[in-house]
Amino acid sequence: MISEKENTRISKFLSLVLRHKPETIGIQLDENGWVPVDILLKQLGTHGHPVSKEILDHVVATNTKKRFAYNDDETKIRANQGHSVEVDLNYTPLQPPAILYHGTAERSLESIFKTGLEKRNRHHVHLSTDASTALAVGSRCGKPVLLTVAAGEMYTDGYNFYVSDNNVWLTDHVPVKYLKQKEE
Task: Describe the chain by its helix, strand, coil percentages, rounded to 5.
Answer: 40, 20, 40
> What is the chain's mean pLDDT, rounded?
92
Q: Are 172 and 158 a contacting pair, CB within 8 Å?
A: no
The stretch 77-99 carries a mean pLDDT of: 88
Q: At 43, is the pLDDT very low, low, confident or very high (cuts 50, 70, 90)?
A: very high
pLDDT attached to residue 87: 82
pLDDT attached to residue 86: 82
pLDDT attached to residue 85: 85
Rounded distance, CA 114 to CA 165, Å? 31
The angle at the Cα of 7, spanning 18 to 39, to the nearest 5 degrees, equals: 40
Q: At 80, is the pLDDT very low, low, confident or very high (cuts 50, 70, 90)?
A: confident
Q: Mapping DSSP to helix (H, G, I), strand (E, B) and coil, where does residue 33 land?
A: coil
pLDDT attached to residue 184: 56
pLDDT attached to residue 99: 97
pLDDT attached to residue 3: 92
The stretch 141-163 carries a mean pLDDT of: 94
Return the domain boundaries, the chain: 4-79, 100-181
pLDDT at 100 over 90: yes
CATH fold for domain 4-79:
Arc Repressor Mutant, subunit A (1.10.10)
CATH fold for domain 100-181:
ADP-ribosylation fold (3.20.170)
The DSSP code for 128 is B
